[in-house]
Structure 1
């Protein structure tokens, strides 16, 4: 039975999902909400204004084909950032810095892989929860993959550490300016309100992520054949070295430049609104600095940079095609219809179950609207007033949005950052799905319990806008 079945290539899976989305535009009713421009210039939907289109606008096969290059263009910021990081890390490896760093980390953590996994999951979750970092983790992928291979773990363990931290950080964030603050503003509750509850659940959710990754890692350590990626070629040549170069002064200067680049990136994100274009510029500067300090010569650096970019060509294609799924749904005018149709059943549920229903809806919609802030502008104007009618506070509605958006970021193929991470690590999507789905289920179950407890204990009642409640009754 299994001999006759072969899992398609990730690109084939994504194109298949694009085709399903394309066919859905012929079947799902086309309609839209009226929108209004918020104070920050972003459009958000107006509840109660959903109307069906007077006539159906059918997308053609030509629209499907042109959506692919359009999607590549729409995802260009992530694609070019991945190219730059891959090229610059290739330069750094030519200087021997990455191999020396791996050797030093092996001395420190070689016999404590559980400590390494916990530290990575915790630190990445903390950064994502505080300032919304995501694409910034891409530079760490190849380093952690090589480190895990040297520790007799595998690429899946490395990706698990990164993505678990990233997804959990977004899901239980206390401060994330791209999700929590925007959602609270739209819902009409004070920004940063409810902070204590979200801080209280941070460590328990991090421990769920750590336990899942470490449980898998222990199996691989005990039996290398248990690795989901055992038959795959590892990036960075895929061979475990017998010895690593000593971390000398030149290597330390290059690593100091890397740390300075990360500090600059965090400063730019927090104070200047930087994102991937600016971060790409920061890493180009580090690449030039590395070339000079490493004394490898301009031609060698240029060749190594191009080699690093070439290795990530397939990853770039996956990132672009993944963006095409949401693009087709937008072109076919069915995105708002999906949101409207999913929100209707909530009014028939009790408050506790409705909160869990919001979580499920936000999780599903993240497949079609992978942008956290974009999802907030589309869904929160609907979920907040629906919650008013069924006894779910707006603070709980925001929490359900956080959970649904953050946790599903770890598995949805429309998430360009995720596709970039697994692509750089050489992990096919179907294997990542197999690894991540049990983790997602654990997190979703814990999130459902937290939401029901939040409703039971009246989380957010102290900041519930009373005027908004009365207007909905009219």
Structure 2
């Protein structure tokens, strides 16, 4: 490859994908399944009802351009949550709390980076698997970036810990209410059934993720030039320190406020159906509490908040444009066509290969249907009957869906949470892809083995 080759900016990559989706709306036959409205108000497709559209929708270049601001509007919840988190974390940093926390963690784990990496991957995977947390991890990104920098690691290691835990947690979740419960309900199998296998594979998959991140981290520790982000500016904007303040009482109170905020968020998500708007409100409250406890005057707190928001303008733009890819395909009425044409050949495969094929199909479709529950309502009604025909138990169909949806969350650029995390850490998407793709292949290989064995040994029968 020529040394003059330059990887385009992540924004250009996303816009190029939007353009490909736009061109596809002119080439791919348009069609749709009939849908029914379920008791929970969600739309679910009806198997066997796919028909090609009589009138073709032809999106104009103006439609393509309009899709960009529409996509920004559609992603407003995650965009403004990222803005709020960035602003509030800047306020917390101004009180010295984050630097004091990093210093404290450095004292405890500075000589045990492997233990730190395992703990973060394990805890994030466990939380995602239990209650479906994702965007809630964004506040931890800069803290981990600062900690990794102090430990002679890099931003890629920090992002690797967060995203690996998040993706594996979703992929092998035992009882995630947004994926497992929804998919099992749609597939008409008992909710939370088959939990024994999912619990059994949790630690092995976490260890695969930990090994990948730690193998990279060891190379960076041995030779900082091996860092994939060595030539990039630090996202801490010069606020990284050599010496760290002592963790004093007011710092501990601010951290207690953060823990209380996260705990309240978890309760609200599980019990009240809260999501990003409510979480944003909680972080605003924590920001006010932090400014008061940290004895920041109102003007200083406001200025720090605005500075934190400004630093994330690029991230917000990437999140919005990423949503535009699926929007174009929905407008062009080719999403159901892709689902139909991918699911149809599975009926001609043997049961083991069909299970793996379902997993690969779900992985690909997650690029265009980044919502886990949304993907379940579109694909499970189609794949469950196919499974019945070829001898793939519906429990295995749900497992294939989980693997495809969860693991690919770690790498698809249409995932707003992923783009928020790497954007906050200052890691370009092409470098993250290079880091993450080998891990995805390892996880896919392991997941395929699990699916084949699940079919062979009658999992779910």
**Secondary structure of the corresponding residue to residue 119 of structure 2:** helix
Offset, 1:4:
2.0
Question: What is residue 125 of structure 2 aligned with on the other side?
Answer: 125
Q: Matched residues in 2 for 1:150 and 1:345: separation?
A: 52
Question: What is residue 91 of structure 2 aligned with on the other side?
Answer: 91
Contact 1:387 1:393 in 2 (8 A): yes
Question: What is residue 351 of structure 1 aligned with on the other side?
Answer: 351
Q: Matched residues in 1 for 2:28 and 2:226: separation?
A: 43
Q: Matched residues in 1 for 2:225 and 2:7: separation?
A: 19
Q: Matched residues in 1 for 2:243 and 2:315: separation?
A: 30
TM-score (normalizing by structure 2): 0.99
* 1:403 equivalenced with 2:403 (yes/no): yes
**Secondary structure of the corresponding residue to residue 341 of structure 1:** helix
Q: Matched residues in 2 for 1:153 and 1:128: separation?
A: 25
* 1:62 equivalenced with 2:62 (yes/no): yes
**Secondary structure of the corresponding residue to residue 336 of structure 1:** helix
Question: What is residue 443 of structure 2 aligned with on the other side?
Answer: 443
* 1:311 equivalenced with 2:311 (yes/no): yes
Offset, 1:56:
1.2
Question: What is residue 388 of structure 2 aligned with on the other side?
Answer: 388
Residues 40-69 of structure 1: per-residue CA shift (max 9 Å, x gap): 100010000000001211100000000000
Q: Matched residues in 1 for 2:275 and 2:239: separation?
A: 34
Contact 1:146 1:238 in 2 (8 A): no
Contact 2:99 2:241 in 1 (8 A): no
Question: What is residue 292 of structure 1 aligned with on the other side?
Answer: 292
Instruction: Note the 1:78-227 alignment, pairs <5 A.
Output: 78-227=78-227
Q: Matched residues in 2 for 1:257 and 1:6: separation?
A: 44
**Secondary structure of the corresponding residue to residue 366 of structure 2:** helix
Residues 96-142 of structure 1: per-residue CA shift (max 9 Å, x gap): 00000000000000000000000000000000000000000000000
Question: What is residue 330 of structure 1 aligned with on the other side?
Answer: 330
TM-score (normalizing by structure 1): 0.97
Question: What is residue 465 of structure 1 aligned with on the other side?
Answer: none
Question: What is residue 280 of structure 2 aligned with on the other side?
Answer: 280
Offset, 1:238:
4.6
**Secondary structure of the corresponding residue to residue 44 of structure 1:** strand
Instruction: Note the 1:34-49 alignment, pairs <5 A.
Output: 34-49=34-49
| Counterparts in 2 of 1:179 and 1:30: CA distance versus 1, 3 Å | same
Q: Matched residues in 1 for 2:453 and 2:400: separation?
A: 12
Question: What is residue 248 of structure 1 aligned with on the other side?
Answer: 248
Q: Matched residues in 2 for 1:368 and 1:436: separation?
A: 19
Contact 2:150 2:242 in 1 (8 A): no
Offset, 1:344:
1.2
Offset, 1:378:
0.3
Q: Matched residues in 1 for 2:210 and 2:419: separation?
A: 21
Contact 2:326 2:368 in 1 (8 A): yes
Q: Matched residues in 1 for 2:44 and 2:404: separation?
A: 19
Contact 1:31 1:52 in 2 (8 A): yes
**Secondary structure of the corresponding residue to residue 186 of structure 1:** helix
Q: Matched residues in 2 for 1:99 and 1:35: separation?
A: 52
Q: Matched residues in 1 for 2:419 and 2:341: separation?
A: 29
Q: Matched residues in 2 for 1:237 and 1:314: separation?
A: 15
Offset, 1:296:
1.1
Question: What is residue 422 of structure 1 aligned with on the other side?
Answer: 422
Q: Matched residues in 1 for 2:379 and 2:51: separation?
A: 16
For structure 1, the 5+ residue unaligned runs are 462-474
Offset, 1:234:
1.1
Residues 236-288 of structure 1: per-residue CA shift (max 9 Å, x gap): 12565221000001101111111110111011011000101000000000000
